[in-house]
Amino acid sequence: MKRYERFADDIAELIRSGVLGPGQRIPSVRYASQTHGVSPSTVFQAYYLLERRGLIRARARSGYFVNSHVPRTFVEPQALAPVSESTEVDVSGLVFSILDSIKDPSTVPFGSAFPSPSLFPLQRLARSLASATRSMDPQVVVSDLSPGNPQLRRQIALRYMVGGLMLPMEELLITNGALEALNLCLQAVTEPGDLVAIEAPAFYACLQVLERLKLKAVEIPVQPRQGMDLEVLAQTLDKHPIKAVWCMTNFQNPVGASMPEASKQALVELLRKHQVPLIEDDVYAELYYAQQAPKPAKAFDTEGLVMHCGSFAKSLAPGYRVGWVAAGRYAQKIERLKLMTSLCASMPAQAAIADYLQHGGYDRHLRKLRYALEGQQANMLAAIARYFPAQTRVSQPSGGYFLWLELPEQVDALKLFQLALAQGISIAPGPIFSPTQRFGHCIRLNYGSPWTETTEKAMETLGKIIRSFL
Does residue number 290 form part of the binding site for a copy of itself (CB under 8 A)? no
When the beta carbons of 212 and 239 are compared against a copy of itself, the nearer one is: 212
Q: How far is CA 422 from the centre of its chain?
A: 28
Show the site string, 376-415: x = touches a copy of itself by CB under 8 A, - = not.
Answer: ----------------------------------------
Q: Which one among 266, 339, 366, 414 touches a copy of itself, defined by CB under 8 A?
A: 339
**Within 10 Å of residue 458's Cβ, how many Cβ atoms?**
23
Residue 304 burial (10 A CB sphere; 0-12, 13-18, 19+): middle
Please give the Cα distance from 250 to 253 (Å, whole number).
9
424 binds a copy of itself (CB under 8 A): no
Rounded to a whole number of angstroms, the distance between the first and last alpha carbons of the chain is 48
Q: Provide, rounded to whole angstroms, the least separation between the CB of residue 408 and a copy of itself.
A: 31
Q: Is 340 in the site for a copy of itself (CB under 8 A)?
A: yes
The rounded Cα 104 to chain-centroid distance in angstroms is: 23
Nearer to a copy of itself, 180 or 301 (CB): 180
Q: Is 106 in the site for a copy of itself (CB under 8 A)?
A: no
- Smaller CB separation from a copy of itself, 37 or 138: 138
Angle between helices 122-134 and 347-359 (to 10 degrees): 110
CB half-sphere exposure, 146, CA atoms < 13 A: 25
Contacts of 366 by beta carbon, 8 Å cutoff, 6+ apart: 286, 315
Least distance to a copy of itself, CB of residue 199, Å: 18
Residue 346 one-letter amino acid = S
Q: Does 141 bind a copy of itself (CB under 8 A)?
A: yes
Interface pick for a copy of itself out of 60, 343, 390, 422 (rule CB under 8 A): 343
Figure out which of the listed residues 33, 87, 155, 208 binds a copy of itself, where binding follows CB under 8 A.
208
Peptide bond before residue 348 is cis, with ω within 30 degrees of 0: no
* Count of positions (residues) in the chain: 470
Q: Is 186 in the site for a copy of itself (CB under 8 A)?
A: no
9 touches a copy of itself (CB under 8 A): no
Instruction: Give the Cα separation of 296 and 308 in Å (integer).
Output: 8
Q: How many C-beta atoms surround the C-beta of residue 81 within 10 A? A: 10
Binding to a copy of itself by residue 318, rule CB under 8 A?
yes
Q: Please state the closest distance from residue 109 (CB atom) to a copy of itself, in A.
A: 8
User: Taking phi first (over 0 means left), then psi (-120 to 50 degrees means alpha), and beta for anything else, what does residue 294 get?
Assistant: beta
Report the site for a copy of itself in 65-104 (rule: CB under 8 A): 92, 96, 99, 103
Site membership for a copy of itself, residue 14 (CB under 8 A): no
Element (H, E) at 332: helix 331-341
Smallest separation, CB 349 to a copy of itself (Å): 5
238, 229 contact by CB (below 8 A): no
Residues 231-270 that bind a copy of itself (CB under 8 A): none
- Under the criterion CB under 8 A, does residue 454 sit at the interface with a copy of itself? no
Residue numbers of the site for a copy of itself (CB under 8 A)? 92, 96, 99, 103, 105, 109, 112, 114, 117-118, 120, 122-123, 125-126, 129-130, 133-134, 136, 138-144, 175-177, 179-180, 183, 187, 192, 205, 208-209, 211-212, 318-322, 336-337, 339-349, 352
